[in-house]
Amino acid sequence: MSDARLLALTQGDPSGIGPELALSAYEAARADATLPRFVLLADPELMRRRAQALGKDVRIAECDAGSAERVFAEALPVLPLRALAKGEPGNPDPADAGATIESIERAVALVIEGQASAVITNPIAKDVLYRAGFAHPGHTEFLGELARRHTSREFHAVMMLWADELAVVPVTIHVALAEAPRLLTRELIVETGRIVAADMRARFGVAAPRLAVSGLNPHAGENGTMGREEVDVIAPAIADLVAAGIDARGPYPADTLFHAAAREKYDAALCMTHDQALIPIKTLAFDRAVNVTLGLPFVRTSPDHGTAFDIAGKGVANPTSLIEALRLAARLADA
């Protein structure tokens, strides 16, 4: 990991709330010296337009990563993109996809090159990127591909949603619910569990991570009477994790896994589907939860919400999740 303490923040979809969240996070960091410093990878003119439209007294300074920390005291440091962004609030345009993708690529490059310590990504709209030819299911998978490009090694990127109250990991992620049972394999559960345990130790400082593993079916399958996945796939995967020295338990019924007493018994919950993981954490910590990508050679965090096109440009977007993502990224990068 680089000695650099600067964080690299992407602009996200320029028509969403990402640009105004970046402005609000900068204002918060100017007022609170404990918040980490960052450089924003964005179209500077987009940021000037958005600041002016929102009535924010934030100066935008174009700079490189080397001068960003010095600039931060007086202006929001923006590393300019080659691609310009129209970024009309609430009206996403596939023509802006190039700027969105370039921002992510260059943020990763800054960290790989040692000019920044972590990547923080503002929200993207996957359907907008798909219309522009984007080939990855989401941020998590794209980051895994970028890590491979830079290192010529294969990585299995794992999505964790983290808050003080709960950490959850969906084993299957951005796939249709009907596809999840087919994709859910013993090998996938074991690989995901290994990565979670390793990064909980290395980055979160949990010496002996306790993993709770959910079932896929109601009541965790009721001993095979409501589905065989628990018997044939999930329980054998848990046994493999235990044999590897990992404290993994289950499969537990998902509807009893997230109440307060249950949460005290584990450090992270491995869930079989995307919504099985995200519903409980968004219920408990909607404004504070952070998306963390595990299994990569760099730290990446993100707010745990979307582009919010319906409120973009109105000055009402809550920056708390982005601020928490910045805090957590700095903490993990220092581990």
The pair of three-digit structure tokens given for residue 208, joined into one six-digit string: 């002996």
Q: Are residues 5 and 134 in the same domain?
A: yes
Reply yes or no on whether the pLDDT at 1 is more than 60.
no
What is the rounded CA–CA span in Å between residue 307 and residue 294?
A: 22
Reply yes or no on whether the pLDDT at 174 is more than 90.
no
**List of residues 6+ apart from 71 with CB closer than 8 A:** 61, 63, 77
| pLDDT tens track for 45-91 | 999 999 999 999 999 999 999 999 999 999 999 999 999 999 999 99
Tell me which of 97-101, 110-114, 135-139 is least confident. Answer: 135-139
Reply yes or no on whether the pLDDT at 2 is more than 50.
no
pLDDT-above-90 percentage for the chain = 89
| pLDDT tens track for 218-241 | 999 899 999 999 999 999 999 999
pLDDT on residue 176: 92
Query: What CATH number is given to the structural domain containing 260?
Result: 3.40.718.10
The strand pair at 210-214 and 268-271 is best described as parallel
What is the rounded CA–CA span in Å between residue 225 and residue 220?
A: 10
Give the model's confidence band at 136: pLDDT under 50 very low, under 70 low, under 90 confident, else very high: confident
Q: Are residues 289 and 173 in the same domain?
A: yes
Average pLDDT across the chain, whole number: 94
| Section 87-98 average pLDDT | 94
| pLDDT tens track for 21-38 | 999 999 999 999 999 999
Let me know: does 158 contact 293? Beta carbons within 8 Å. yes
**List of residues 6+ apart from 324 with CB closer than 8 A:** 288, 289, 290, 303
**Overall domain count for the chain:** 2
Reply yes or no on whether the pLDDT at 114 is more than 60.
yes
pLDDT-above-70 percentage for the chain = 99
Tell me which of 128-142, 160-174, 208-222 is least confident. Answer: 128-142
pLDDT on residue 189: 98
pTM comes to 0.91
Q: Are residues 4 and 136 in the same domain?
A: yes
Q: Are residues 200 and 268 in the same domain?
A: yes
| Section 108-122 average pLDDT | 96
What is the rounded CA–CA span in Å between residue 109 and residue 102?
A: 10
| pLDDT tens track for 229-274 | 999 999 999 999 999 999 999 999 999 999 999 999 999 999 999 9
Q: Are residues 234 and 316 in the same domain?
A: no
Let me know: does 272 contact 253? Beta carbons within 8 Å. no
Q: Are residues 138 and 256 in the same domain?
A: no
Q: Are residues 244 and 314 in the same domain?
A: no
> Residue 90 — φ and ψ, nearest 5°?
80, 0
Measure Cα distances from 5 to 68, 69, 247, 327 in Å. Answer: 11, 9, 33, 12
Q: Are residues 138 and 208 in the same domain?
A: no
Q: Are residues 271 and 133 in the same domain?
A: no
Q: Are residues 142 and 3 in the same domain?
A: yes
Give the model's confidence band at 135: pLDDT under 50 very low, under 70 low, under 90 confident, else very high: confident
State the residue range of the domain holding 277. Answer: 158-294
Q: Which of 239, 148, 137, 147 is nearest to 193 (CA)?
A: 239
| pLDDT tens track for 287-312 | 899 999 999 999 999 998 999 999 99
| Section 126-148 average pLDDT | 87
Let me know: does 269 contact 277? Beta carbons within 8 Å. yes
Q: Are residues 31 and 175 in the same domain?
A: no
* Domain end residue (candidates: 261, 279, 294): 294
Q: Are residues 189 and 305 in the same domain?
A: no
pLDDT on residue 99: 94
Reply yes or no on whether the pLDDT at 3 is more than 70.
no
